[in-house]
Chain A
Amino acid sequence: MARNDALQGSLDLLVLKILSRRPRQHGYAIMAAIANTSGDVLRAEEGSLYPALHRMEEAGWIRAEWIKKDTGRRTRIYELTSAGKKQLGVEESRWQSLSLAINRVLREV
Chain B
Amino acid sequence: MSLWSRISNAVHGSRLNREIEEELQSHIEEAVASGRDPREARRAFGSALRAREASHSVRVTGWLESLLADLRFGWRQLCRNKVASAAAVLSLALGIGSCVGAFRLIDALLWRPLPIANSSNLYVLSRQMTGLYGKPTEDSYWATPDFNLMRDAVKEQADLIAISDADRTDITFSTDDDMEKAHVAYVSGNMFPVFGLEPAIGRLLAPADDRSAAASPYAVLSWEYWNHRFGRDPRVLGRPLHIGDQTFQIIGIGPRDFTGTETGTVSDIFLPLGMNDLSTRAGVSWHHTFLMLKPGINPSTALDPLRQHLSAISHAFEANCATCFRGVPQATIDRLLNKKLVFHPAGAGISDLQKDYRRLLGVLGLLVALVLLIACVNVSNMMTSQAAARSHEMALRISIGAGRRRLVQLILCQSALLAFLASVVGAFFAAWSAPFVLSLVNPPDNPARLALPADWRVLGFGFGLMILVVLLLGLLPALRASAVRPIAVLKGGADPHSRRRLMRGSIALQVAFCVLVLFLSSLFVAAFQRLQNRPLGFSTDRLLLLETVAGKGQLPVVWNQTAEVLRAVPGVDSVAISGWPLLGRIQINNDISINGAPPSPTPAWFLNVSPGWLSTMKIPLVSGRDFSQEDTSLKAAIVNETFARIFFPGQDPIGRTFARGVNQPLNKIVGVTADTPYHDLREPSRPVFYVPLDEIDADSATGPVRFATFVIHTDSQNPLALTATLRQLIAQRHNGLRVSNVTTELDLVRDQTVRERLLATLAAFFAAVALLLAGIGLYAVLNYSVLQRSREIGIRIAIGASRAGIVRLVTFDAFLMIALGGCAGIALGFGAARYIASFFYQVKATDAEMLALPACAILVTALIATLPAVLRALSTDPTEILRAE
Q: Interface digits, A27-67 against B, CB 8 Å rule (1 contact, 0 not)?
A: 11100100000000000011100110011011110000000
- Tell me whether B297 is interfacial, beta carbon within 8 Å: no
Beyond A51-B54, A60-B1, A60-B2, is A26–B24 a contact (Cβ under 8 Å)? no
- The reply to whether B26 and A75 form a contact with Cβ atoms under 8 Å apart is yes
- Tell me whether B55 is interfacial, beta carbon within 8 Å: yes
User: Which residues from chain B contact A54 at a C-beta distance below 8 Å?
Assistant: 20, 55, 58-59
State in angstroms the CA–CA spacing of A58 and B26 once bound together. 21
Restricting to A1-39, which residues have a CB under 8 Å from any CB of B?
26-29, 32
Which residue of chain B is the closest to A43 with respect to CB atoms? Answer: B44
Beyond A47-B45, A54-B55, is A27–B27 a contact (Cβ under 8 Å)? yes
User: Which residues from chain B contact A74 at a C-beta distance below 8 Å?
Assistant: 22, 26
Interface-lining segment among B28-36, B86-94, B520-528, B647-655: B28-36
- The reply to whether B46 and A26 form a contact with Cβ atoms under 8 Å apart is no
State in angstroms the CA–CA spacing of A69 and B45 once bound together. 22
Beyond A58-B58, A60-B2, is A76–B51 a contact (Cβ under 8 Å)? no
Restricting to B490-543, which residues have a CB under 8 Å from any CB of A?
none
| Chain B, interface residues (CB within 8 Å), range | 20 to 34
User: Which residues from chain A contact B22 at a C-beta distance below 8 Å?
Assistant: 74, 76
State in angstroms the CA–CA spacing of A71 and B2 once bound together. 32
Beyond A58-B5, A58-B6, A75-B26, is A51–B34 a contact (Cβ under 8 Å)? no
User: Which residues from chain B contact A107 at a C-beta distance below 8 Å?
Assistant: none
State in angstroms the CA–CA spacing of A58 and B4 once bound together. 10
- Tell me whether B180 is interfacial, beta carbon within 8 Å: no
State in angstroms the CA–CA spacing of A57 and B184 once bound together. 70
User: Which residues from chain A contact B27 at a C-beta distance below 8 Å?
Assistant: 26-28, 46, 50
Chain B: minimal CB distance from A91 (Å) = 18
User: Which residues from chain A contact B50 at a C-beta distance below 8 Å?
Assistant: 47
- Tell me whether B198 is interfacial, beta carbon within 8 Å: no
Beyond A58-B6, A60-B2, is A50–B29 a contact (Cβ under 8 Å)? no
- Tell me whether B37 is interfacial, beta carbon within 8 Å: no
Chain B: minimal CB distance from A57 (Å) = 8
- Tell me whether B23 is interfacial, beta carbon within 8 Å: yes
Chain B: minimal CB distance from A60 (Å) = 6
- Tell me whether A73 is interfacial, beta carbon within 8 Å: yes
Which residue of chain B is the closest to A73 with respect to CB atoms? Answer: B26
- The reply to whether B1 and A50 form a contact with Cβ atoms under 8 Å apart is no
Beyond A32-B34, A46-B51, A47-B51, is A73–B29 a contact (Cβ under 8 Å)? yes
Beyond A46-B45, A58-B59, A60-B2, is A26–B51 a contact (Cβ under 8 Å)? no
Which residue of chain A is the closest to B30 with respect to CB atoms? Answer: A28
Of B2, B5, B23, B54, the contact of A27 (CB 8 Å cutoff):
B23
User: Which residues from chain A contact B45 at a C-beta distance below 8 Å?
Assistant: 46-47
State in angstroms the CA–CA spacing of A50 and B51 once bound together. 8
Which residue of chain B is the closest to A69 with respect to CB atoms? Answer: B26
Chain B: minimal CB distance from A83 (Å) = 10
- The reply to whether A26 and B26 form a contact with Cβ atoms under 8 Å apart is yes
Beyond A47-B45, A58-B2, A60-B2, is A26–B30 a contact (Cβ under 8 Å)? yes
User: Which residues from chain B contact A60 at a C-beta distance below 8 Å?
Assistant: 1-2
User: Which residues from chain B contact A71 at a C-beta distance below 8 Å?
Assistant: 29
- The reply to whether B51 and A59 form a contact with Cβ atoms under 8 Å apart is no
User: Which residues from chain A contact B46 at a C-beta distance below 8 Å?
Assistant: 46-47
User: Which residues from chain B contact A32 at a C-beta distance below 8 Å?
Assistant: 34
Chain B: minimal CB distance from A75 (Å) = 4
User: Which residues from chain A contact B55 at a C-beta distance below 8 Å?
Assistant: 50-51, 54
State in angstroms the CA–CA spacing of A54 and B23 once bound together. 11
User: Which residues from chain B contact A73 at a C-beta distance below 8 Å?
Assistant: 25-26, 29
Which residue of chain A is the closest to B47 with respect to CB atoms? Answer: A47
Of A28, A55, A69, A75, the contact of B58 (CB 8 Å cutoff):
A55
User: Which residues from chain B contact A27 at a C-beta distance below 8 Å?
Assistant: 23, 27
Which residue of chain B is the closest to A58 with respect to CB atoms? Answer: B2
User: Which residues from chain A contact B23 at a C-beta distance below 8 Å?
Assistant: 27, 50, 75-76
State in angstroms the CA–CA spacing of A4 and B530 once bound together. 84
State in angstroms the CA–CA spacing of A28 and B44 once bound together. 12
State in angstroms the CA–CA spacing of A106 and B6 once bound together. 44
Chain B: minimal CB distance from A62 (Å) = 12
State in angstroms the CA–CA spacing of A54 and B59 once bound together. 7
Which residue of chain B is the closest to A28 with respect to CB atoms? Answer: B30
Chain A: minimal CB distance from B16 (Å) = 10
- The reply to whether B2 and A59 form a contact with Cβ atoms under 8 Å apart is yes
User: Which residues from chain A contact B34 at a C-beta distance below 8 Å?
Assistant: 28, 32
Of B25, B30, B31, B54, the contact of A47 (CB 8 Å cutoff):
B54
User: Which residues from chain A contact B26 at a C-beta distance below 8 Å?
Assistant: 26, 28, 69, 73-76
Which residue of chain A is the closest to B53 with respect to CB atoms? Answer: A51
User: Which residues from chain A contact B5 at a C-beta distance below 8 Å?
Assistant: 58
User: Which residues from chain A contact B54 at a C-beta distance below 8 Å?
Assistant: 47, 50-51
State in angstroms the CA–CA spacing of A2 and B23 once bound together. 25
User: Which residues from chain A contact B51 at a C-beta distance below 8 Å?
Assistant: 46-47, 50-51
User: Which residues from chain A contact B2 at a C-beta distance below 8 Å?
Assistant: 58-60
The chain A residues found within 8 Å of chain B, CB to CB, are 26-29, 32, 45-47, 50-51, 54-55, 57-60, 69, 71, 73-76
Would you list 20 pairs from A and B whose C-beta atoms are within 8 A, ordered by A residue? Answer: A26-B27, A28-B30, A32-B34, A46-B51, A47-B45, A47-B54, A50-B55, A54-B55, A54-B58, A54-B59, A57-B59, A58-B2, A58-B58, A59-B2, A60-B1, A73-B26, A74-B26, A75-B30, A76-B19, A76-B22
Contacts A46-B51, A75-B26 aside, 12 further interface pairs with beta carbons under 8 A come to A26-B26, A28-B30, A45-B44, A47-B45, A50-B24, A50-B51, A54-B58, A58-B5, A58-B59, A69-B26, A71-B29, A73-B29
Q: State the 5 A-B residue pairs at the shortest beta-carbon distance, nearest first.
A: A28-B30, A51-B54, A75-B26, A55-B58, A76-B23
